[in-house]
Amino acid sequence: MGDYLKPIPVADPDSAPFWAACREHRLLLQKCAACGAVRYPPGPFCPHCRSRSAEWIRSAGRGKVFSWIVVTHPVPKDVYAGDVPYVVALVELDEGVRMASNIVGCAPSEVRGDMRVEILFDDVAPGITLPRFKPAETPSR
Amino acid sequence: MWTLRDKYCIAGIGETAYSKASGRTVLDLASDACLKAANDAGVALEDIDGIVSFNFNDSVPAIAVATGLGVPAAQYAVDYAGGGNAANLIVLAAAAAIEAGLAKNVLCYRAMNGRSGFRLGGGRELSARGVTQYTAPFGWITYPQAMAMWCRRHMLKYGTTSAQLAAVAITCRQNAALNERAMQREPMTLEDYMRSRMIVEPFRMLDICLESDGACAVLVTSAERARDLRNRPVHIMGGAYGGGPNQGDDLFDALRWPDHAHNYSKYIAADVWKSAGVGPGDVDVAEIYDCFTYSVIMQLEGFGFCHEGEGGRYVQGGRISRDGELPINTHGGLLSEAYIHGLNHVLEAVRQLRGSAGARQIAGAEIAFTSAGAMTCGSAMVLRR
């Protein structure tokens, strides 16, 4: 992982399939095998029916902006100085779960609430792929 | 729900100076504030049998204070893992411990070198484990960054403006000008606010609380014992701790929170008022947790001082100033007095109810409200003289 100084996601038994799929440019979500509820972040139990039985489904990677921030003051300064301003957003996926990510591919000032976005995969370092979002190009549903 | 209305009191308060560099150990700060609170109440350390604190791995444990001050019989020496959410919780917990017979006189403190030592606002571990693996890799790391997301959501949903956030910051600063203990006392105008550096949109520098070295402590005992002590007791009428569904995996995480346009306050308000037997309209002075300007607006809504979505308009026009309908943060709050994680709000409420707040005194204050927390969980109390 060499020169990559930003926070590195440390996969655990709950999250390993999620990050492995990101490396293959697929977004996976956990779906309860008992009640069908989709959840994120991954976890050992279904919070709706408490089943431990789950399957991984592929997300279409589309959604809309629920809220967002524009980071203008880098913290840690040396790590993010070259990145500001950057956008962190809560994206509501069409599958009904919310995830934190970045909005790229447009100026930070162009981000709007409820803006349609779609996924892109960013291979930031060997073995680390982050799911980010950009303004949707394909027609929204 | 809290069922101990008026049975327990805050009988003593103590604090250190607030600074950017105390030059003292956290143990020194904690012990100093605790000793002052015991002396203020007139309770000998030999009669202290409980010490409760909360921390973020940035403090000293209660047993260390007991050991350092030579408290001979500290039976209920307990540390809560928490942030601002716990500042009223530890007071309620102290009363609950006494009610259960676990202690008789309990010191509650918060102590830290929050600027010169462990800076809570400065960042977190860069290895993203647990729930942090779903946030930090995207450059979402600090508490200002976490809470800006909430503020934006409130703006989106209700049209809250920067000028409304400014009204909170300016009010706190006006109050701090009258408080010799406050770390920031120079006047602040709307123009100053607007010109302050953007840190993480929608937050400017002046939306974000201070970082402080210091400590606060209170002594909690039964109303019966408090009657015979040195200072006028302040009664705990009601209070609550908690939040809504999906409070998250830690104090940063709110990925599954229902809607970031409201916070924990909405979920505990009913218990707070019901337990106290009064309502928002009965409050003479409110010390509301202000780690960021927006958190005051969300709590004014959540606790029912105004309707949901109206907090932005409520804070404008002087309603929350010293001579307004609901004076808030009369000491200057976390924004301008010091960041002692909300326990300094409790001390100020006690001073107001004792009538000892000096130039800041709200005339005739009989009932005070305090709160602690900004995101998915928090605590609040109603106090009376």
Average pLDDT of chain B, as a whole number: 96
How many other C-beta atoms can be found within 10 angstroms of the C-beta atom of residue B9? 28
ω into A76 cis (within 30 of 0): yes
Q: Is the dihedral of CA A114, A118, A121, A122 positive or negative?
A: negative
Do residue A79 and residue A122 come from a single domain?
yes
* Inter-chain CB proximity B134 and A79 less than 8 Å: no
Contact criterion met (CB below 8 Å) for B14 and B32: yes
Packing angle of the helix pair B162-176, B293-302 (nearest 10 deg): 100
Give the position of tokens 């006028």.
B232
Contact criterion met (CB below 8 Å) for B219 and B92: no
A79 inside 8 A of chain B by CB: yes
Do residue A48 and residue A108 come from a single domain?
no
Q: State both tokens at A95.
A: 């599958």
Question: Side chain identity at A44, as an amino acid letter?
Answer: P
Q: Quote the pLDDT of residue B223.
A: 98
pLDDT band at A137 (very low <50, low <70, confident <90, very high): confident
Q: What is the DSSP string of B103-114?
A: -SSEEEEEEEET
Residue A48 included in any domain? yes
The interface predicted TM-score (ipTM) is: 0.97
* Inter-chain CB proximity B197 and A73 less than 8 Å: yes
Do residue A69 and residue A54 come from a single domain?
no
Contact criterion met (CB below 8 Å) for B170 and B118: no
Residues B255-277 have pLDDT tens digits of 999 999 999 999 999 999 999 99
Give pLDDT tens digits along chain B (385 positions): 999 999 999 999 999 999 999 999 999 999 999 999 999 999 999 999 999 999 988 999 999 999 999 999 999 999 999 998 999 999 999 999 999 999 999 999 999 999 999 887 665 567 799 999 999 999 999 999 999 999 999 999 999 999 999 999 999 999 999 999 999 999 999 999 999 999 999 999 999 999 999 999 999 999 999 999 999 999 999 999 999 999 999 999 999 999 999 999 999 999 999 999 999 999 999 999 999 999 999 999 999 999 999 999 999 999 999 999 999 999 999 999 999 999 999 999 999 999 999 999 999 999 999 999 999 999 999 999 9
Among B124, B142, B150, B201, most A C-beta atoms within 10 A, so best to mutate, is: B201
CA distance B5 to B209: 32
* Inter-chain CB proximity A67 and B145 less than 8 Å: no
Residue A121 included in any domain? yes
Do residue A49 and residue A29 come from a single domain?
yes
* Domain enclosing residue A31, as ranges: 12-58
Residue A1 included in any domain? no
Q: State both tokens at B29.
A: 């700060």
Q: State both tokens at B193.
A: 């606010």
- For residue B346, the Cα-to-chain-centroid distance in whole angstroms is 7
Do residue A136 and residue A67 come from a single domain?
yes
Residues B114-156 have pLDDT tens digits of 999 988 766 556 779 999 999 999 999 999 999 999 999 999 9
B255 inside 8 A of chain A by CB: yes
Question: Which DSSP helix (H) or strand (E) runs through A136?
Answer: none
Among B141, B151, B211, B256, most A C-beta atoms within 10 A, so best to mutate, is: B141
Query: Residue B382: what are its φ and ψ, rounded to 5°?
Result: -115, 125
Return the bridge partners of B369, or none. Answer: B286, B382
Domain CATH number, residue A107: 2.40.50
Residue A5 included in any domain? no
Do residue A70 and residue A122 come from a single domain?
yes
Residues of chain A with Cβ-Cβ distance to B298 below 8 Å are none
How would you label B164-198 residue by residue, b for 16+ Cβ within 10 Å and e otherwise?
A: bbbbbbbbbbbbbbbbebbbbbeebeeebbeebee
Do residue A80 and residue A134 come from a single domain?
yes
Do residue A18 and residue A41 come from a single domain?
yes
- Which DSSP letter does residue B136 get? G
Question: Side chain identity at B336, as an amino acid letter?
Answer: S
Do residue A41 and residue A102 come from a single domain?
no
Domains present along chain B, CATH in parentheses: 8-118+211-226 (3.40.47.10)
* Inter-chain CB proximity B139 and A6 less than 8 Å: yes
B50 inside 8 A of chain A by CB: no
Give how far B67 is from chain A: nearest CA, Å. 37
Do residue A107 and residue A38 come from a single domain?
no
Do residue A17 and residue A34 come from a single domain?
yes
Residues of chain A with Cβ-Cβ distance to B249 below 8 Å are 41
Residue A140 included in any domain? yes
Residue A18 included in any domain? yes
The total domain count for chain A is 2
* Inter-chain CB proximity A71 and B145 less than 8 Å: yes
Among A3, A18, A64, A73, most B C-beta atoms within 10 A, so best to mutate, is: A73
Do residue A131 and residue A77 come from a single domain?
yes
A16 inside 8 A of chain B by CB: no
